[in-house]
């Protein structure tokens, strides 16, 4: 479209919608200023479709309608966030991810637990999928049957709005999920497709026979090879094969059809205007399919995310995007945008490699693999940020670079085999109690399930009533959490981990869950247990107060904001790793011992601050340490960490 025609089109749509005058000038300027980008992205995806210019005008109308529907209070909050200069980089943010029903019964019950979360130091709530999904085939809520209706188990949309208002009053933030890649096979669109409606059949990948599915599957990795092998399912109602990359009941949406994009964009804006602060886009790597590829991380998937981001930035700029792309470190960087599109795609991404590298270090007592991978992880652009975490609702995938494993002297497949056996407790000396998940019988690949506490040895320690082992497991929990909390990015705790919940095996008695061992680390909260967080000397108290203290340290020091101000240190001790957080002349040394035995680190690591002071203050133990000569050593107890300040 010619630029003059483009601007004329935008003005025409604005006039049609009654948008004019000073009150809307910032929005008008934003829409016109981003017009070329929007059209470039849309045309790159859909220029070969019929009526693509008409469809583009409809995209403009969706953006304008969403702006008009945004409440004055949310527009005011947008402005406040803008004044904070990328609010999601702040050291004051700390999150928790939780299942509403398993944490508090329902949304109203969650409202009554806000004080508990604030006491811990959490001010960003990630509510796992809330919208309708069939209980018998929900994938934990990620098989959505209605994007606009809250599942009755949790409450209703009014309850969510009340919760959002409460969070606003308490200066807290809300994050929810949207599943772009697929719907439940019981979604209205899928039901109409089954009934033969050609419009909705166009929303999915449907094939008359196995010829194309067979060709595609020759390039597609299996996501759930045990419970849902293959990537297509036969539907007898249509007598067609349906693409279902995840579970058989999750039908992949066909984003090659612009009607799908428009429908999902309306849903995204619906969430934005509910007051959502962070939208977690589930499985964005899969949203574009192309014959002859793995159908992951394709350029068109990035263009869709960039178009969504551009649209949000115009109409609802206060909502940030988190891309849940659990891919190798080199591939994750693309989700922040490359080249001109840098910082024009996802604002946030999961630091999944760092999470896995912590478990690698804990299992091997060797931090060199963690250190090697930082060359890639540190390429994150300034202005974007990580979600740092130790555990989540999902499994642990060993997504780090083979080249780094080789560089530190290990064989990649043997190293991963060791990690799987260690974390699943198959090695006699391992204290971990995990389980292998999604074992692929063809490749022997697998991921790991298990709660933070059980993987750190607490479950076995409790079984043996070994008090020393219990304390060791607590030390491991706090070590791992400290690394996640103090590194650049938003720390995201997983509910139950703050008081040391071990694996819950009751899922085995539920046929709706028994096929998926990830439910072992998705606990049903017993508030009598959580109340022990207030009782001195209990395991719950030690874990809760330890995490609480680390979060308070983070929030008290601006240099823990994410301004790419992380410098990893060369410790010359393979069991000890650390990084320097520095900003405006102030420095913080965060040091971690991943060994079960005492270790030492030469004071040479502090050479950059020795001229300013001969001592540092450990914010965690609240003690000073004197900086010795370069050949002398700072001593670490097993699994000890330091947070050393030079100011």
pLDDT, tens only, 498-522 = 999 999 999 999 998 999 999 999 9
* 3-class DSSP state of 534: helix
Name the phi and psi angles at 243, rounded to 5.
-70, 130
Average pLDDT score over the chain: 96
Specify whether the CB–CB gap between 346 and 321 falls below 8 A: yes
Strands (E), 513-575: 566-568
Tokens of 351: 């630091």
User: Above 90 in pLDDT, residue 412?
Assistant: yes
Instruction: Name the least confident of 6-15, 112-121, 305-314.
Output: 6-15
Strands (E), 506-597: 566-568, 576-583, 586-593
Please enumerate in sequence order all residues whose Cβ is within 8 A of that of 529, keeping only pairs 6 or more positions apart, or say none: 499, 501, 540
Task: Give mean pLDDT, residues 77-98.
Answer: 94
What Cα–Cα distance (Å) separates residue 404 from each residue in 151, 370, 396? 44, 9, 19
Name the phi and psi angles at 130, rounded to 5.
-105, -20
The residue with tokens 């590298």 is 357
Cα 76 to its chain centre, rounded Å, is 27
The H or E element that residue 65 is part of is helix 52-69
Number of CB atoms found within 10 A of residue 82's CB: 12
Among 260, 401, 383, CA closest to 327: 401
State the pLDDT at residue 516: 94
Q: What is the per-residue pLDDT across 380-406, written as a single tens digit (0 to 9) for each?
A: 999 999 999 999 999 999 988 899 999
- The DSSP output letter for 88 is G
* 3-class DSSP state of 72: helix
Among 451, 341, 443, 442, CA closest to 394: 451
Q: What is the per-residue pLDDT across 485-496, written as a single tens digit (0 to 9) for each?
A: 999 999 999 999
Among 299, 298, 322, CA closest to 312: 322
Q: What is the per-residue pLDDT across 563-572, written as a single tens digit (0 to 9) for each?
A: 999 999 998 8
State the pLDDT at residue 85: 80
User: Above 90 in pLDDT, residue 289?
Assistant: yes
Among 106, 189, 111, CA closest to 147: 189
Give the span between the Cα atoms of 493 and 125, in whole angstroms.
10
User: Above 80 in pLDDT, residue 30?
Assistant: yes
Question: What letters, b where the CB count within 10 A reaches 16 and e where it falls short, cover 211-237?
Answer: eebeebbeebebbbbbebeebbbebee
User: Above 80 in pLDDT, residue 589?
Assistant: yes
Task: Give mean pLDDT, residues 445-456.
Answer: 96
Among 149, 235, 249, CA closest to 196: 235
State the pLDDT at residue 323: 96
CA atoms within 13 A on the CB side of 318: 25
State the pLDDT at residue 611: 84
The H or E element that residue 3 is part of is helix 3-16
Helices in 186-298 by DSSP H: which ranges? 188-194, 198-201, 211-217, 258-272
Residues listed for the chain: 647
Confidence class of residue 226 from pLDDT cuts 50, 70 and 90?
confident
Question: What letters, b where the CB count within 10 A reaches 16 and e where it falls short, cover 30-43?
Answer: bbeebbebbbebbe
State the pLDDT at residue 381: 97
Instruction: Name the least confident of 18-22, 268-272, 434-438, 529-533.
Output: 18-22
Sign of CA dihedral 251, 256, 257, 260: positive
Give the span between the Cα atoms of 310 and 623, in whole angstroms.
49
Task: Give mean pLDDT, residues 447-459.
Answer: 98
State the pLDDT at residue 21: 86
State the pLDDT at residue 566: 97
Tokens of 319: 């909502």
Give the span between the Cα atoms of 475 and 598, in whole angstroms.
13
State the pLDDT at residue 441: 86
Confidence class of residue 329 from pLDDT cuts 50, 70 and 90?
confident
DSSP 335-394: GG--GGGTTSS-SEEE-HHHHHHHHHHHHHS--HHHHHHHHHHTTPPBTBEEEE-S--SS
State the pLDDT at residue 548: 98
Helices in 365-504 by DSSP H: which ranges? 368-377, 402-407, 412-423, 452-455, 458-464, 467-486
Q: What is the per-residue pLDDT across 596-639, written as a single tens digit (0 to 9) for each?
A: 999 999 999 999 898 888 999 999 999 999 999 999 999 999 99
Sign of CA dihedral 196, 199, 200, 204: positive
The H or E element that residue 233 is part of is strand 232-235
Give the span between the Cα atoms of 493 and 95, in whole angstroms.
6
Domains in the chain: ranges and CATH: 566-645 (2.60.40.1180)
Specify whether the CB–CB gap between 435 and 518 falls below 8 A: no
User: Above 90 in pLDDT, residue 4?
Assistant: no
Confidence class of residue 121 from pLDDT cuts 50, 70 and 90?
very high
Among 352, 271, 355, 255, CA closest to 315: 271
What Cα–Cα distance (Å) separates residue 242 from each residue in 133, 182, 187, 622? 19, 11, 14, 60
Give the span between the Cα atoms of 1 and 9, in whole angstroms.
10
169 counts as catalytic? no
Confidence class of residue 447 from pLDDT cuts 50, 70 and 90?
very high
Give the span between the Cα atoms of 440 and 446, in whole angstroms.
6
Name the phi and psi angles at 250, rounded to 5.
-110, 105
Among 587, 607, 602, 613, CA closest to 636: 602
What Cα–Cα distance (Å) separates residue 295 from each residue in 155, 439, 627? 36, 21, 54
- Which of 282, 360, 394, 562 is catalytic? The answer is 282
Q: What is the per-residue pLDDT across 187-201, written as a single tens digit (0 to 9) for each?
A: 999 999 999 999 999
Tokens of 435: 């389980």
401 counts as catalytic? no
State the pLDDT at residue 230: 94
The H or E element that residue 15 is part of is helix 3-16
Say what the pTM is. Answer: 0.96
State the pLDDT at residue 328: 80
Confidence class of residue 339 from pLDDT cuts 50, 70 and 90?
very high
β-pairing, 447-449 vs 435-437, is: antiparallel
Give the span between the Cα atoms of 302 and 44, in whole angstroms.
11
């Amino acid at each position: 479209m010619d630029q003059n025609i483009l601007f004329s089109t935008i003005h025409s749509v604005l006039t049609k919608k009654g948008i004019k005058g000073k009150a809307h000038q910032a929005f008008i300027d934003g829409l016109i200023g981003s017009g070329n980008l929007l059209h470039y992205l849309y045309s790159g995806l859909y220029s070969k479709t019929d009526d693509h210019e008409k469809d583009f005008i409809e995209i403009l109308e969706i953006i304008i309608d969403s702006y008009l529907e945004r409440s004055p209070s949310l527009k005011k909050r947008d402005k406040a966030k803008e004044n904070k200069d990328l609010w999601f980089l702040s050291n004051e943010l700390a999150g928790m991810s939780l299942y509403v029903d398993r944490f508090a019964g329902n949304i109203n019950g969650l409202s009554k637990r806000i004080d508990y979360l604030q006491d811990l130091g959490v001010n960003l709530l990630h509510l796992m999928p809330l919208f309708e999904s069939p209980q018998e085939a929900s994938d934990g809520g990620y098989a959505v049957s209605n994007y606009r209706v809250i599942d009755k188990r949790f409450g209703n949309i009014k309850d969510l709005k009340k919760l959002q208002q409460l969070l606003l009053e308490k200066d807290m933030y809300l994050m929810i999920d949207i599943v772009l890649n697929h719907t439940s096979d019981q979604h209205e669109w899928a039901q109409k497709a089954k009934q033969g409606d050609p419009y909705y059949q166009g929303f999915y990948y449907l094939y008359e026979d196995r010829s194309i599915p067979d060709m595609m599957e020759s390039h597609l990795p299996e996501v759930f090879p045990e419970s849902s092998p293959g990537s297509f399912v036969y539907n007898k109602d249509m007598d067609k094969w349906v693409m279902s990359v995840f579970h058989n009941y999750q039908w992949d949406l066909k984003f090659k059809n612009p009607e799908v994009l428009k429908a999902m964009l309306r849903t995204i804006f619906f969430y934005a205007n509910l007051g959502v602060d962070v939208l977690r886009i589930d499985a964005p790597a899969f949203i574009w399919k192309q014959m002859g590829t793995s159908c992951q991380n394709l350029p068109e998937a990035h263009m869709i995310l960039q178009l969504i981001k551009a649209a949000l930035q115009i109409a609802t700029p206060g909502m940030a995007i988190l891309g849940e792309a659990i891919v190798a470190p080199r591939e994750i960087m693309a989700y922040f945008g490359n080249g001109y599109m840098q910082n024009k795609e996802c604002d946030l991404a999961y630091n999944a490699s760092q999470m896995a590298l912590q478990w690698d270090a804990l299992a091997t007592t060797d931090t060199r693999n963690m250190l090697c991978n930082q060359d890639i992880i540190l390429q994150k652009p300034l202005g974007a940020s990580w979600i740092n975490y130790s555990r989540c609702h999902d499994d642990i995938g060993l997504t780090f670079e083979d080249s780094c494993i080789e560089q530190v002297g290990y064989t990649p497949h043997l190293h991963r085999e060791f990690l799987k056996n260690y974390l699943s407790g198959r090695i006699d000396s391992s204290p971990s109690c995990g389980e292998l998940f999604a074992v692929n019988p063809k490749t022997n690949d697998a991921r790991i399930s298990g709660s933070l506490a059980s993987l750190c040895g607490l479950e076995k320690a409790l079984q043996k009533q070994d008090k020393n082992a219990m304390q060791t497991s607590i030390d491991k929990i706090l070590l791992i959490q400290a690394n996640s909390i103090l590194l650049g990015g938003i720390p995201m705790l997983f509910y139950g981990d703050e008081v040391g919940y071990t694996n819950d095996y009751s899922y085995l008695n539920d046929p709706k869950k028994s096929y998926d061992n990830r439910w072992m680390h998705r606990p049903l909260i017993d508030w009598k247990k959580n109340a022990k967080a207030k009782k001195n000397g209990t395991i719950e108290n030690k874990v809760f107060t330890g995490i609480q203290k680390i979060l308070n340290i983070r929030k008290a020091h601006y240099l823990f904001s994410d301004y790419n101000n992380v410098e990893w240190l060369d410790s010359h001790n393979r069991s000890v790793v650390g990084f320097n957080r520095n900003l405006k002349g102030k420095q913080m040394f965060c040091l971690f011992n991943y060994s079960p035995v005492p270790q030492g680190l030469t004071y040479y690591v502090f050479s950059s601050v020795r001229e300013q002071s001969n001592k540092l203050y450990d914010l965690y133990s609240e003690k000073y340490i004197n900086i010795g000569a370069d050949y002398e050593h700072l001593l670490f107890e097993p699994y000890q960490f330091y947070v050393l300040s030079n100011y």
